[in-house]
Structure 1
Amino acid sequence: MGWKGVRRAAAPAALAAAVTLVLAAPPSAGAEPRAGTSTATARQDASPTPPPPRLPRDLRGKGRWIVRDLDITVPFTWEGRNGDSQMTAGGLQYPIWFTNLIHHGTLCTLTYKWPGLNEHPCSAIPGFSLEDLNRGFENARFVGRETLRRTPQRHVNHWRVGVVFPQLPPGNHPRLPLALGDIYVDENDRGTFWQVLQFGVQNLYDPEPDEWLVMDTFEQRPGTVALPARCEPPR
């Protein structure tokens, strides 16, 4: 669940940011996921539907951020402390570099580098917390139990979260799908996120627009969350 929906401070983008993650098809050895594909293997299981994803208050993990249509893969970190949360992809030496945060009840994003991007403001949307994100996850739809074919293989529960505007009853009504998130959490721990696909307006800078995060490690212990100086509120 990245929060790049706040790249442009607009109401639809704020809704899309809630998908997070925020917030991916798992690459096998020597390969990367392509848009619309997955190397996950479905498993038959008649057991009851598991509880939905829930991002923990404390976390730290490392992996990769993948923008397949741009042929870009960069290092990725995801850290959380006491309910604040921060994603960072790339860095100064990479073609993309951004950070997304939930910090003291505000959703922030700062894109330092992106192909074709010449503006680098810090966008902030107040009134969004970890609790709000997890409430959104409560409405996720269970897709199924799957095995991610990587080393090591991971058994996961696959969930889907969508944002549609406006919210209308069933029937022939005009509505706009704003964002979609496919979330893969450990089958034994809904608080361990192994990968996420984001598709929609939260990926405004990507031509396709879909982006993946794939975690290699994920631990539920306090990480480090640092708000960039550019995102500090005016005094």
Structure 2
Amino acid sequence: MGGKSRRRTTAPAALVAVAALVLAAAPSAGAGPRTGTGTGTAPSPAAAGAGAGAGARQGASDASPTPPVPRLPRDFRGKGKWIVRDLDITVPFTWEGRDGDSQMTAGGPQYPIWFTNLIYRDTLYTLTYKWPGLDEHPCSRIPGFNLEALNEGFENARFVGPETLRSTPQRRVNHWRVGVVLPQLPPGNHPRLPLALGDIYVDEDNRGTFWQVLQFGVQNLYDPELDEWLVMDTFEHRPGTVALPRRCEPPRPPDGAW
């Protein structure tokens, strides 16, 4: 990573992580969600690591029908925490959506980390204001990504099972796994690497209510252990506020639209 310096210029986690996960894991035509192979009786490692705790509910079995895959709604707002456990950092976090655009914001000027990420007018943005060891703070822009692309990527998520997050209040959720493994090869003894992985926990009664996301992989390049996660305390289905930072370049119109 450029010698001993910890100066990095790639985009951080959050929405970029989700984009990396779902763009590379987009399903083939006719593909449906895959069910998990476990019985759902063991706690999820992701939830246990997040400190929220997750245990499977009694009576779950492989015979249970697979629920609908996660789907981020067009309008929502929620508050919670962004956690980087190996750095011993936990900061306030908000996630809001309005008319298909959405924005994540973690921390603030008084915290050790502070970043915002957006899906805004068919463009993915990430801007890191503060992060340990980070010297450059550009606003990165990836055109051609929107809510529809995100939800299309979720179509290939694998169902792990129903669980209960030991939060206050306890939340009954469906646990899903999305991921990017390269190279993509058939089953067998082939070398392959898990480039990016994500565990998503949505409300068992509403696949559009996201309570927890754990992500691991090279997309979390700023973190030494490559893992970060979010835990929501509230999640409401009403329009939030989405605002592009001043230092970010506005989306460019499509070719020929000038």
Name the residue aligned to 1:17: 19
What does 1:76-225 correspond to in 2, within 5 Å? 76-225=93-242
Q: Percent identity at matched positions?
A: 81
1:170 offset after TM fit, Å?
2.2
- Give ranges in structure 1 of 5+ residues lacking alignment: 1-6, 27-32
Q: Does 1:42 align with 2:42?
A: no
1:234 offset after TM fit, Å?
8.5
Partners of 2:182 and 2:217 in 1: CA distance: 12
Name the residue aligned to 2:10: 8
Name the residue aligned to 2:72: 55
Instruction: Let me know the Cα RMSD of the aligned residues.
Output: 2.3
Is the CA contact (8 Å cut-off) linking 1:18 and 1:136 kept in structure 2?
A: no
Deviations 1:42-78 (A, max 9, x none): 1232431101100001110000000000000000000
1:19 offset after TM fit, Å?
2.9
Is the CA contact (8 Å cut-off) linking 1:59 and 1:221 kept in structure 2?
A: yes
The secondary structure found in structure 1 opposite 2:230 is strand
1:155 offset after TM fit, Å?
0.2
Is the CA contact (8 Å cut-off) linking 1:101 and 1:107 kept in structure 2?
A: yes
Partners of 1:40 and 1:133 in 2: CA distance: 26
1:150 offset after TM fit, Å?
1.4
Name the residue aligned to 1:64: 81
Higher-Rg structure is: 2
Report the structure, 1 or 2, having the larger strand content: 1
Is the CA contact (8 Å cut-off) linking 2:174 and 2:201 kept in structure 1?
A: yes
Deviations 1:95-133 (A, max 9, x none): 000001111111110000000100101111111111111
Partners of 1:14 and 1:72 in 2: CA distance: 20
Partners of 1:97 and 1:175 in 2: CA distance: 34
| Change beyond 3 A, Cα 1:208–1:15 | closer
Partners of 1:34 and 1:86 in 2: CA distance: 25
The residue type paired with residue 223 of structure 2 is D
Q: How many residues end up aligned between the 2 structures?
A: 217
The residue type paired with residue 167 of structure 2 is R
The residue type paired with residue 145 of structure 1 is P
With structure 1 as the length reference, what TM-score do the two structures score? 0.85
With structure 2 as the length reference, what TM-score do the two structures score? 0.78
Is the CA contact (8 Å cut-off) linking 1:193 and 1:218 kept in structure 2?
A: yes
Is the CA contact (8 Å cut-off) linking 1:16 and 1:178 kept in structure 2?
A: no
- Give ranges in structure 2 of 5+ residues lacking alignment: 1-8, 23-44, 253-258
Deviates more, 1:168-177 or 1:88-97: 168-177
Deviations 1:157-188 (A, max 9, x none): 00000111232222333332110000000000
